[in-house]
Structure 1
Amino acid sequence: MSSRGRKATQALSSLAEFLRGFDGFGAQTVEYVEDGVSHFVNEFWTAGQRQAHALHEVSYRACFKPQLPEFFVSRLTAPGEKVYDPFMGRGTTVLQAALQGRAPVGNDVNPLSVLLVRPRLRPPSIEAVQERLSAIDWNCVGVERKDLLAFYHPETLRQICALRRWLLAHAPLGGEPDPADDWIRMVAINRLTGHSPGFFSVYTMPPNQAVSVEAQLKINARRKQTPPVRDVAALIVKKSQALLSEGAPPAHPAPLLITGDAAKAASIADGSVRLIVTSPPFLDIVQYAADNWLRNWFAGIDTSAVRISTHRSEAAWADMVRDCFIDFARVVAPGGHVAFEVGEVRGGRIALERLVWQAVEGLPFEKPLVLINAQKFTKTSHCWGVANNAKGTNSNRVLIFRRR
């Protein structure tokens, strides 16, 4: 066995020993074996265990905490090695990799993801943001999408439309925009709707999604509210100051961010990735395209052209997983690892981890470990009455595979 192979074997073995000995938050790790696969249960990370970097604080539907990728990046990679998320969403894994001096690699089928991730890997100064905001032509005559007055005061919507037109002209999709324009678009996308005066909208759903216009009209009627005037530029500056409060990521290798099918990441070189940390779409639980309709509109993305698959059967979901792992076997170096988070769905009646390890059988991966980060928290669905999240995750259930 090569020295690299011995090191990788030791890494997974050392991780298993660490999990066995973990004594965190007043609890000993519980270990059990199911179908020959070792499971480790404890609260391995919480929101209070380590304060996440301020740059992570952008909202997105169904994202995991930064402590999850940090846990695996710290233990299974070295500085400079590539860390990849094929379903990057808001970019938690990609940004955390950069914050830890690794080479960030990310992919998502929705082009919105690149717009959310890229600016935080190369953030401008707050002075550059303010200077660019002062240069924008805010004199927009008329507005687009008058139905959006369900969310916004006419003056606020006028400002949003003016900013949108500026960005579409100066930072078109598919290019490499100026970092200040890139950043302003990212912040604006995250301030479109929310439940406090820090957002452009009247009180609405949580900031990780947008309800339909019809649903917002009902919220307005029920709460007897009308959209207030918001200062779009001022809110962008305020959020930028919060995000930049801890500075930019340290020096790290250049990122690779792509848009496409997670099972066909051809632009990632064979054997170049040391670690994958990701979470795939869960069966038919979250409607990502529907949740992001307003963000996609602002960014100039045609939502109907974003082919986000919804897997309504266990067999279809398992087929998707296998297709992805076929490509993972190509891009992950021998001795590298995949940390595949599957959560808990349908009240635990479906064991997604079992579907995963069955789907991966026959591919060049060792039998996995399963880490269950058991943590009690209040679901968004309970707080907001969101039917779209009624069957959401109760715990982080992560399969850790080693590439042979």
Structure 2
Amino acid sequence: MGFMDILNMTLPKPFPDRTLIDGILDFRDFDGITRHERADGIDYFINAFWTSGQRQAHAIHEISYRACFKPQLPAFFISRLTAPGDLVFDPFMGRGTTLVQAALMQRRAAGNDINPLAALMCRPRLRPIDLHDIADSLRSVDWALGKIRRDDLLAFYHPMTLARLEALRDWLAERAPLGAVRPDPVADWIRMVAINRLTGHSPGFFSGRSMPPNQAVSVTAQRRINERLGLAPPERDIAALILRKSKSLLRDGTVPACGAPGLHTGPAWHVPGLAARSVALVVTSPPFLDVVDYAADNWLRCWFAGIDPGAVAIDLHRSEAAWTEMVRRVLAELARLVRPGGHVAFEVGEVRRGRVLLEKRVWQAADGLPFQRLGVLVNLQTFTKTSNCWGVSNGTRGTNSNRIVMLRRL
């Protein structure tokens, strides 16, 4: 039985007398009946585990990043499987959704990513920040000192805007140099917001009209956009836009102080800076085969931050076997890090129109490791912002569900 066969079942089956996952998550918390199906030796539990009304999240999450999950996903597991003060970890932290949500819920947070850009996106939101300090720091930038170093970027920016971006890059290099252990927190925040405002489709971004806002097209593609629209990039007030976005991010407040976050840069299968058996819960989502090219998507963000994307060893797994082997290496490291009785929630998405069921590969990768394989939670959604944004009809293309492989450390 395939995944779509499971979703198309109309008659819910009763739970077995004792399923492993039923002892951890109380399904009576949810509307309707959670369906239980078994396929290829795997227990599936299917429901809308967070409703549309529960999708409202803390404003500090609202920065764009390709292929990130909603904050409600880690919140679901953090609330049920951890207590305040516990350590929550994400080995593929991306923009830091798991870490930020853990901190909001008064848990300690740790994360890892192969791309140093991830720490720049996550770290500033895990520390208290004041809007007045941000405004004061922006006033200290000498915006007239910027010199254009790359003429090709004029495809995205008005000349005055690009010069101001260069002035900001120079200012950040002094205040929060890349690789600094303790950069100035306000400069760190300003860089994070600036990275998030580099390109987009509205006047709230530094660029002329460009799509989508969570990745940068190539210079050639942007020139084609400009020609098709008959528009040149308009001049933007960088400081005003950073301050406006900062105000929006902070409208619900900042995260509470729950100890210094442990942020690591390196492969997900080798995190030596994190102590063995220290993690209560892992909530993560790895790259999905060859669906997303993170290096190509983030080239402009890397330019602004001073990161050489060619030096970032991001894997693109073209085969299921190679992807499975990567997941096994990661799970072996998680077996070292997760305390006995701790849990792993390993989210996988739909790829190749649902023909590839990655949860089966994760299940296979965990075989023989010191984990109980509890089942797969399927959060079934009837509406997705992504699919509608791209004009994709639900149920045929796009992502309509989250599938989370649940493991418990023996």
**Pairwise same-fold verdict (TM > 0.5):** yes
Equivalent position amino acid for 2:171 in 1: W
| Partner Cα separation in structure 2 for residue 316 and residue 108 of structure 1 | 19
Match of 2:23 among 14, 22, 27: 14
What's the offset of the Cα at 1:139? 1.5
Match of 1:228 among 231, 234, 243: 234
What's the offset of the Cα at 1:269? 0.4
Name stretches of at least 5 consecutive residues in structure 1 with no aligned partner.
Answer: 1-8
| Partner Cα separation in structure 2 for residue 109 and residue 116 of structure 1 | 13
Match of 1:238 among 241, 244, 252: 244
What's the offset of the Cα at 1:106? 0.3
Alignment correspondent of 1:3: none
Written as runs of structure 1 = structure 2, the 5 A alignment for 1:336-375 is 336-375=342-381
| Partner Cα separation in structure 1 for residue 67 and residue 128 of structure 2 | 24
The sequence identity of aligned pairs, in percent, is 60
Written as runs of structure 1 = structure 2, the 5 A alignment for 1:300-315 is 300-315=306-321
Partner-residue secondary structure (3-state), 1:64: coil
Name stretches of at least 5 consecutive residues in structure 2 with no aligned partner.
Answer: 1-17
Are 1:365 and 1:402, in contact at CA under 8 Å, matched by a contact in 2?
Answer: yes
Are 2:156 and 2:233, in contact at CA under 8 Å, matched by a contact in 1?
Answer: yes
What's the offset of the Cα at 1:345? 1.1
| Partner Cα separation in structure 1 for residue 55 and residue 357 of structure 2 | 29
Residue-by-residue CA offset, 1:23-51 (whole Å, 9 max, x unaligned): 43xx4221101233211111112453142
Match of 2:190 among 170, 180, 184: 184
Alignment correspondent of 1:38: 43
Are 2:384 and 2:400, in contact at CA under 8 Å, matched by a contact in 1?
Answer: no
Alignment correspondent of 2:290: 284
What's the offset of the Cα at 1:206? 1.7
Aligned length: 389
Match of 2:86 among 62, 67, 81: 81
| Partner Cα separation in structure 1 for residue 101 and residue 292 of structure 2 | 24
What's the offset of the Cα at 1:123? 3.5
Residue-by-residue CA offset, 1:338-384 (whole Å, 9 max, x unaligned): 00000111111111111111111000001221000111334646634
| Partner Cα separation in structure 2 for residue 219 and residue 99 of structure 1 | 40
Residue-by-residue CA offset, 1:123-154 (whole Å, 9 max, x unaligned): 32000000000111211253121111111111
Equivalent position amino acid for 1:333 in 2: R
Alignment correspondent of 2:9: none
Alignment correspondent of 1:322: 328
Residue-by-residue CA offset, 1:311-330 (whole Å, 9 max, x unaligned): 00000000000000000000
| Partner Cα separation in structure 1 for residue 311 and residue 354 of structure 2 | 33
Are 1:379 and 1:392, in contact at CA under 8 Å, matched by a contact in 2?
Answer: no
| Partner Cα separation in structure 1 for residue 316 and residue 352 of structure 2 | 16
What's the offset of the Cα at 1:385? 7.7
What's the offset of the Cα at 1:204? 0.5
Partner-residue secondary structure (3-state), 2:372: coil
Are 2:384 and 2:399, in contact at CA under 8 Å, matched by a contact in 1?
Answer: no
Residue-by-residue CA offset, 1:108-133 (whole Å, 9 max, x unaligned): 00000000101001132000000000
| Partner Cα separation in structure 1 for residue 88 and residue 30 of structure 2 | 27
What's the offset of the Cα at 1:254? 2.0
| Partner Cα separation in structure 1 for residue 63 and residue 126 of structure 2 | 13
| Partner Cα separation in structure 2 for residue 235 and residue 355 of structure 1 | 44
Alignment correspondent of 1:51: 56
* Correspondence 1:124 to 2:134: no
What's the offset of the Cα at 1:392? 5.2
Are 1:85 and 1:277, in contact at CA under 8 Å, matched by a contact in 2?
Answer: yes
Are 2:64 and 2:213, in contact at CA under 8 Å, matched by a contact in 1?
Answer: yes
| Partner Cα separation in structure 2 for residue 395 and residue 307 of structure 1 | 29
* Correspondence 1:333 to 2:339: yes
Are 1:368 and 1:400, in contact at CA under 8 Å, matched by a contact in 2?
Answer: yes
Match of 2:107 among 102, 109, 122: 102
| Partner Cα separation in structure 1 for residue 123 and residue 214 of structure 2 | 18
My pick for the range that moved more, 136-145 or 240-249, is 136-145
Equivalent position amino acid for 1:234 in 2: A
Equivalent position amino acid for 2:172 in 1: L
TM-score between both structures, scaled by the size of structure 2: 0.91
Provide closer, same or farther for how the CA distance between residues 281 and 302 of structure 1 changes in structure 2, counting only shifts above 3 A. Answer: same
Are 1:279 and 1:342, in contact at CA under 8 Å, matched by a contact in 2?
Answer: yes
Partner-residue secondary structure (3-state), 1:211: coil
Are 2:347 and 2:403, in contact at CA under 8 Å, matched by a contact in 1?
Answer: yes
Partner-residue secondary structure (3-state), 2:43: strand
